[in-house]
Every structure is written in structure tokens, then in C-alpha cells.
Amino acid sequence: MYKNIVVLGGGTAGWMSAVYIAKKWAHKNFRIQVIESDAIGTIGVGEGTVPSIADFFDALGIPEHEWMPKCNATYKNGIRFKQWSSVDGHEDYFHPFYSELDAFHKQALLTSIALRTQGFNTYAHPDVFSVVSKLDQEDKSPISSENYLFKSAYAYHFDAGLLADFLKSKAIELGVEHTVATISDVKLDNTGAIASIISNDGTEFLGDLFIDCSGFKSMLLGRALGVEYISFNDTLLNDAAVTVATEMDSSIPSATYSTALSSGWAWQIPLTHRYGNGYVYSSKYISPEQATIELLEHLNLPEGTPVNHVKMRVGRFAKGWEKNCAALGLAQGFVEPLEATALHFVTQSVIDLVSAIEDANYSDANRDIYNKKLEARFTSTRDYIELHYLANSRTDSKYWHAARSFTPNRRLQRLINAWQRGENIAHVLNEEKVSLQLFSLEAWVYLLAGKGFYSTTNERTLKVAPDNVNVNIERIKQFVNISATHFKSHKLSLENLKP
């Protein structure tokens, strides 16, 4: 029975795991320890999130006004992709998070775009159907007035280091023990499970369950238990990033911006006091120095501005939970930061882990179920991100040619074929059992339509749409404009959060 839990690593993943377990098992008298090295820095690339993180904070009972100001957090309505497509009119598009307001015109969106895939001249860009996209354009928060309450799913941007500190204090309040130590050895028992981990000074930390949050090193799951690593670099080329912070503008955007550059893409994440910027690239196509120059040019920063360089390992371990060790965060795997899914994997994994253990009377009986669920999450996320690259239409560098030149897996190939034949991709997603939990049907449509990934791009050859198409685009535009007036400026919403 798991009573003594050791979390290795004190980054965002480590403290998220510790505080969640401590909260959920508060009355079990379990011992929870976090072993954190002061010699290892946190990477903190996970500043952007997806809406599922709200469930995590809800489960902890921590309201926004308590944690957001302390973590320089901002709201996130979605992601705007810029310059990923060379198709006229599709130079950028927005991937909005779910909103009832957008759901109201879901059918119109799907009808219009389905007809466009069939060669009819209809509205083919998804932004026009989305209130949430409009909120991004106007730097508005996802918080509406009391006179216009509709359910929406939004996420956050935050300083990952500050969030780790905040969660650390919460975890310690809940009885989590914190030890600063650098681990140098791992002892296995005669079954091959982890018996203890040992620090540089010889201290031995015993445990029943070990949570590996040691980052890309994956000291327990990867190194000690030798779980197979599955690299994604055959399809996802990026393996490094260069990052730099810049000053915030007078208005705070409410979305992440992802701009395609010559050999990868640049993110811009708004925090309350600064932007977090980074250029994710493939070192095969650009050197760190060239990438730095390109990023600084992109941001209009002077040459010589200090930057940080990060190496990335894109892939996953074949099992996220082996023996008595579950890895979370980068130690579990990483599907590059394009859709800000890193912390989604952390929160969903720890939620799933706790449920799996509870359901099995605090044993490992549900380990295989957990691992299958995790694998499915990786598969659908990887598919979605690969489709970003497959559907790009940039022709300005070898990188972008290479990025779409790999052979798609069977699922993606079916999806692309169906889309380009004007068929319903919902059937393919359903038949291929692609999880729509993180990326809904609309998200797949936004991606393909937003990039203008149509088989016919010459508008002159399009057919006149049938008369009976029930899509009143003028009314939809009016709806979007009126709806947006009910939302506060992002900056004002953040100021209202301050105690």
C-alpha cells in the first residue's frame, strides 16, 4: 500500500503533484516528501496552459484572485497562429478554447467549411465565427459582464517559477516535507522496484511510491528503471529553444501568439509584467547563434540582448508508470510546446494517478489502465501537433519543406484524405477513436481551415454555394461584435483580481 510518497524534483511538475496528492489524501496520514536539488534549475517553458488546469485549481480550492496575482498570471483565450500559411487570407488564424458563444454557431462553422472543402465558395476562415477570436483581437479577457454569462473554458499564462513557489507554500501548509538535496543514486529492491533514493551526502529517502519529476533527465523512470524511450524526432523536428523576456505593452494580449519563423516558430506569452518569448527550432536547420539573431530581429531587440538556450527532448517513455514509480512532467515525455500541453499532461496525469491508486485500494493494480490512458493522450496530442506541420504551406526554407515531408501515420493520412475529398472528418476521428477531450472536432477544423488547407485554393474555380445553405454570415458577424462588447479589457480584469 502506498503510504510513503517521495516526489523527486521541485519544479512546477513536482510541486503540482505534491500539493494535489497532499490535498486529495489529506486525512490519510500518508507521508509526502519533495526532494529538490538547489543545483538544478527549473526549465519553466510551461508558462502557457490549456483550460483543464482550471479543474486542477478547483480541486485544490484555490481561487484565481489568490494565485494569479502572485504568479503574474494572465488569462488565455487560445492561441493565434501567425505566418504558418502562405494561402491568401489565411496568414493567421485563432485556435479558441471552448465557449458556449462559439458553440452557438458551431453548425454554421462546420457547414460553411464543409462546403468549402467540397469546392463551394463559402466563408472558409474560422475566425469570423468565433467570439473568442474577437476577444483576442480586442485584448479582452474571457470574463464577461454579469449580464452576459455564458460558459467558457479559458486557460492561463503564468510565471512557472512563481507558480512552483506558490504551490510549494501550499504543499508545506498541507504537511508536505521539503528537503533540498541532490540525488546521486537509486536503490532497487529485489523485484526491480525503487526502494530508496540517495543524496550526495548519503541521506537515504525511502518510499512506497516515487513520483519522478526530475525533468528531461528522468532519473527514476528512465535511468533507474530503464523504461524504453520513444522519440518523436522522426516527425517533429524541433529540439531546442532560445528564450528572452521583453517588456509588456500598454495593453495585455489575452492569447499566446505562435509565429512561424525560418526554422521553427516563436512564441509570445503575455504575463502581467513582461512577455515570455522563445524560438523553438530544429538545430539541424539553424544554429543557436542564427536562431538568436532571428529571434531578436523578430522582436525588434538589439543584437547582444541576453538570451537563454534550452535543449528539448521530444518524445515519451513507453510507460508513464512502471513498478512503484510514476513520472510526471518532462520526465514522462514532451510533445513540444506548440499547443501548451506540457502542464496539461502534469495535471491530468496526477489526477489520473490518484484516481487509479484510490480505485485500487492504494495499490498498483490499475497501472496498465493508467498507462494506456496516458498513451492515448500522447497519441492524440502528437497527431494534432504533427498536423500543424503537415498543413503548413510555407515555402521559404528547407525546414518547412522538411517539416511537412514526413509520412503521416495512418490516422492522419485518413483524416487528410477525408478533408481534401470534402468528407466529414468527424467520422474519421470517431472511427480512429481519436480522443476529443483536449482537441475537439472544432479544434481539428480550426487547424485545417485556419491554415487554408483546402485542395482548391484558387477562388476563381470555386462553385457558387447552394441557395439553401443556412449560414447568415452578416448576422454571425453582428453576433460576434455585440458579444465581444460584454467582455472587459484584459488589463482591467487582471487589475480587478488584485487584493
Residue 472 touches other proteins, criterion: CB under 8 A:
no
Q: Is 13 annotated as a binding residue?
A: yes
Span near other proteins by CB under 8 A; candidates 56-64, 369-377, 441-449, 480-488: 480-488
Q: Is 44 annotated as a binding residue?
A: no
Nearest distance from C-beta of residue 261 to other proteins, angstroms = 39
* Separation of alpha carbons 395 and 392, rounded Å: 9
Nearer to other proteins, 437 or 485 (CB): 485
Q: Is 457 annotated as a binding residue?
A: no
Nearest distance from C-beta of residue 31 to other proteins, angstroms = 34
Active site residue ranges: 76
* Separation of alpha carbons 480 and 465, rounded Å: 23
Residue 410 touches other proteins, criterion: CB under 8 A:
no
* Separation of alpha carbons 122 and 136, rounded Å: 24
296 Cβ neighbours under 8 A, 6+ residues apart: 244, 302, 303, 305, 307
Binder among 26, 365, 469, 482 for other proteins (CB under 8 A): 482
List 96's β-bridge partners, or say none: 78
Q: How far from chain centre, in Å, is Cα 150?
A: 24
Nearer to other proteins, 16 or 476 (CB): 476
Binder among 100, 173, 185, 368 for other proteins (CB under 8 A): 100
Binding track, positions 110-149, relative to other proteins; x by CB under 8 A: -----------------------------------xxxxx
Nearer to other proteins, 148 or 204 (CB): 148
Q: Is 447 annotated as a binding residue?
A: no
Contact 221, 212 (CB under 8 A): yes
**Closest of 230, 225, 97 to residue 154, by C-alpha:** 97
Binding track, positions 432-471, relative to other proteins; x by CB under 8 A: ----------------------------------------
Q: H or E stretch including 310?
A: strand 308-311
410 Cβ neighbours under 8 A, 6+ residues apart: none
Residue 479 touches other proteins, criterion: CB under 8 A:
yes
Residue 483 touches other proteins, criterion: CB under 8 A:
yes
Q: Which residues of 361-379 are buried (b: 16+ CB within 10 A; e: fewer)?
A: ebebebbeebbebbbebbb
Contact 485, 134 (CB under 8 A): no
Binder among 57, 98, 104, 229 for other proteins (CB under 8 A): 104
Q: Which residues of 443-470 are buried (b: 16+ CB within 10 A; e: fewer)?
A: bbbbbbbbbbbbebbeeeebeebeeeee
Number of residues that bind other proteins (CB under 8 A): 15
Nearest distance from C-beta of residue 120 to other proteins, angstroms = 20
**Binding-site annotation: residue ranges for FAD:** 10-13, 330
Q: Give the residues lining the site for other proteins (CB under 8 A).
A: 100, 104, 145-151, 478-479, 482-483, 485-486
